[in-house]
């Protein structure tokens, strides 16, 4: 359907919009006024907690309709207020894909998920069939049409959520961190899809924590800070003329480079990586940006021996060995891992990379005991993992899930951070924590930029902040191995630096780290090596 701009009236209008999650709390969005015309492609970016995802949720009507909170000001999408119009009216005008695809998936099979929206709008069967076919082809999931959604990788589930929105064919599309869990090839295909939708005249809003390839491709850029719009204008012009300001706002890396001219940001990131690799040994302190709350990594202490003594080991015996590991989900299921062999020694940091569905998360869950490995294939400190309980493995291994919400257990950020030490020390409610633990928690909160958010619910943090909190909470109790699944998804540059400092500190103190990521460039110059997964096989 050609939606070429034929009118000048804005399709999206915000007039003095403000939002707070609780009536007695401060606003997370403050006095935002902007207009987006039909057919525009606008990128909204800003560091974690700047309010950009809240804007996306307000546009879709999720806030305050379902998520609660108090909104002030005027917000209209194609003339309707999404918080007051019927859901059927809203979804025919605007479709949104949020950071956590699992929160949007409601059906068992991929095909049923994509057909769910058109079916509820009572399209006829041939129209539904065509919409499902076209949407799945657009996100390269045609071959997974009849698969269970739960059998998909995180990136494939994200693409399923995108297809479900495309099947509704709304004139306005909002994508909040849409490539956060996608591999390089999937990101390229999605960018091509966005360009095609833009040519068709769709109104596009893409939200990201960095000035990534999607934000660079959008003709218009909006940068948020502290719940307010700080910069709004043509993307190329802003990148060229306001490079230093964009660095200050945290959406570009902090390296001192001349403003881009004809080079793309992707090309510049290559130069940044090369410069970082040339100075790999220079990690005595974190680089500070104006307004950042992060402390130097050397100031973080591991806490008292009461919560578990760090065992450094001689390094002669491998911490982890895998020999001839193959794995399939069920007897009749396809083989997910094929003849995987690897060795991990004490104090090593490894990135586990590969395309969506290559087996990365499956491998990590087998290591943690969340899935049962075949006997004699995975050895932890010389013991067969198949013979160890999950509880025994959890004593030595800290695991950070791809979606941090799935493992939050406390009502506030502070309680989430100290939950591990309390459990380890078997403290009862009301029992005082040792001063060393309190100091450690305070230092960690400052290092991840959440020192002022201790009493906030972890569920109200931004996506990048949630991942940082989840990683910091896992490292409150010393472990021999930390496994982090996509910890940089949705994180800004400040967040990735804080995460790198946490991992570097853990490695220096004797732990090993395995990090699953589609963004190895975020850790260029760090003391690590990369493992690549390709269709279930590990390439060392």
Q: What is the pLDDT along the chain (540 residues), one digit of tens a residue?
A: 444 444 569 999 999 999 998 887 889 999 999 999 999 999 999 998 899 999 999 999 999 998 899 999 999 999 999 999 999 999 999 999 988 888 888 888 999 999 999 999 999 999 999 999 999 999 999 999 999 998 888 889 999 999 999 999 999 999 999 988 888 888 999 999 999 999 999 999 999 999 999 999 999 999 999 999 999 999 999 999 999 999 988 898 865 433 333 334 344 444 434 444 444 444 433 333 333 333 333 334 444 333 334 444 444 689 999 999 999 988 777 899 999 999 999 999 999 999 988 999 999 999 999 999 999 999 999 999 999 999 999 999 999 998 898 899 999 999 999 999 999 999 987 899 999 999 999 999 999 999 999 999 999 888 889 999 999 999 999 999 999 999 998 888 889 999 999 999 999 989 999 999 998 988 988 999 999 999 999 987
The pLDDT, as a whole number, for residue 276 is 41
The pLDDT, as a whole number, for residue 278 is 47
CB atoms within 10 A of CB 6: 9
Task: With H, G, I as helix, E, B as strand and everything else as coil, classify residue 86.
Answer: coil
Instruction: Assess contact for 210 and 492: CB atoms under 8 A.
Output: yes
Q: In sequence order, what are the residues at sequence separation of 6 or more whose Cβ sits closer than 8 angstroms to the Cβ of residue 250? A: 46, 47, 289, 292, 492, 493, 494
The pLDDT, as a whole number, for residue 330 is 81
Query: How far apart, in whole angstroms, are the C-alpha atoms of residue 351 and residue 380?
Result: 19
Query: How far apart, in whole angstroms, are the C-alpha atoms of residue 235 and residue 447?
Result: 31
The pLDDT, as a whole number, for residue 250 is 86
The pLDDT, as a whole number, for residue 314 is 44
- H or E element that contains 278: helix 265-278
481-485 vs 172-176, strand pairing mode:
unpaired
Q: In sequence order, what are the residues at sequence separation of 6 or more whose Cβ sits closer than 8 angstroms to the Cβ of residue 252? A: 210, 211, 243, 246, 493
* Domains of the chain (ranges, CATH numbers): 12-256 (3.40.50.300), 297-539 (3.40.50.300)
DSSP 196-245: HHHHTT-EEEEEESS--HHHHHSSEEEEEETTEEEEEEEHHHHHHH-HHH
The pLDDT, as a whole number, for residue 255 is 57
Structure token pair of residue 434? 């040792």
CB atoms within 10 A of CB 152: 20
């Amino acid at each position: 359907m050609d939606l070429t701009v034929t009118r000048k009236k804005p399709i999206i209008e915000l007039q003095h919009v403000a939002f707070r999650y609780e009536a007695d709390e401060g606003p997370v969005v403050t006095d935002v006024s902007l207009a987006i015309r039909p057919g525009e492609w606008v990128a909204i970016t800003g560091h974690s907690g700047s309010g950009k995802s809240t804007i996306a949720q307000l546009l879709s009507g999720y806030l305050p309709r379902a998520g609660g909170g108090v909104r002030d000001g005027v917000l209209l999408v194609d003339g309707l207020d999404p918080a007051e119009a019927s859901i059927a009216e809203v979804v025919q005008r605007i479709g949104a894909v949020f950071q956590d695809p699992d929160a949007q998936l409601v059906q068992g099979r991929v095909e049923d998920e994509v057909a769910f929206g058109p079916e509820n709008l009572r399209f006829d069967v041939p129209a539904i069939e065509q919409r499902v076919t076209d949407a799945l082809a657009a996100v390269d999931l045609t071959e997974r049409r009849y698969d269970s959604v739960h059998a998909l990788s995180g990136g494939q589930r994200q693409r399923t959520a995108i297809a479900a929105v495309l099947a509704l064919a709304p004139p306005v599309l909002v994508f909040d961190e849409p490539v956060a869990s996608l591999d390089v090839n999937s990101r390229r295909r999605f960018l091509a899809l966005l360009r095609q939708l833009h040519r068709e005249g769709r109104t596009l809003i893409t939200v990201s924590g960095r000035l990534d390839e999607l934000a660079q491709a959008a003709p218009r850029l909006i940068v948020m800070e502290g719940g307010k719009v700080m910069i709004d204008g043509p993307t190329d012009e802003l990148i060229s003329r306001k490079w230093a300001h964009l660095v200050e706002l945290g959406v570009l890396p902090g390296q001192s480079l001349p403003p881009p001219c004809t080079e793309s940001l992707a090309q510049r990131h290559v130069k940044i990586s090369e410069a970082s690799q040339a100075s790999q040994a220079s990690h005595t302190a974190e680089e500070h940006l104006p307004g950042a709350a992060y402390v130097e990594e050397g100031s973080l202490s591991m806490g008292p021996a009461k919560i578990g003594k760090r065992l450094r080991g001689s390094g002669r015996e491998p911490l982890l060995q895998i020999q001839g590991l193959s794995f399939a989900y069920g007897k009749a299921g396809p083989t997910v891992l094929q003849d995987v062999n690897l060795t991990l020694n004490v104090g090593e940091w490894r990135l586990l990379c590969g395309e969506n569905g290559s087996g990365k998360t499956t491998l990590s869950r087998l290591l943690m005991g969340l899935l049962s490995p075949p006997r004699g294939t995975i050895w932890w400190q010389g013991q067969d993992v198949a013979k160890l309980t999950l509880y025994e493995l959890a004593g030595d291994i800290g695991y950070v899930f791809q979606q941090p919400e799935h493992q939050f257990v406390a009502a506030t950020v502070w309680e989430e951070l100290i939950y591990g030490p309390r459990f380890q020390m078997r403290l009862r409610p009301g029992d005082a924590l040792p001063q060393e633990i309190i100091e450690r928690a305070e230092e960690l909160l400052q290092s991840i930029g959440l020192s002022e958010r201790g009493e906030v619910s972890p569920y109200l943090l931004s996506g990048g902040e949630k991942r940082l909190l989840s990683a910091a909470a896992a490292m409150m109790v010393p472990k021999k191995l930390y496994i982090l699944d996509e910890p940089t998804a949705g994180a800004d540059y400040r967040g990735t630096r804080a995460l790198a400092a946490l991992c570097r500190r853990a490695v220096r103190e004797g732990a090993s780290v395995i990090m699953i990521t589609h963004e190895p460039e975020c850790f260029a110059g760090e003391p690590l090596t990369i493992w690549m997964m390709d269709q279930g096989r590990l390439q060392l």
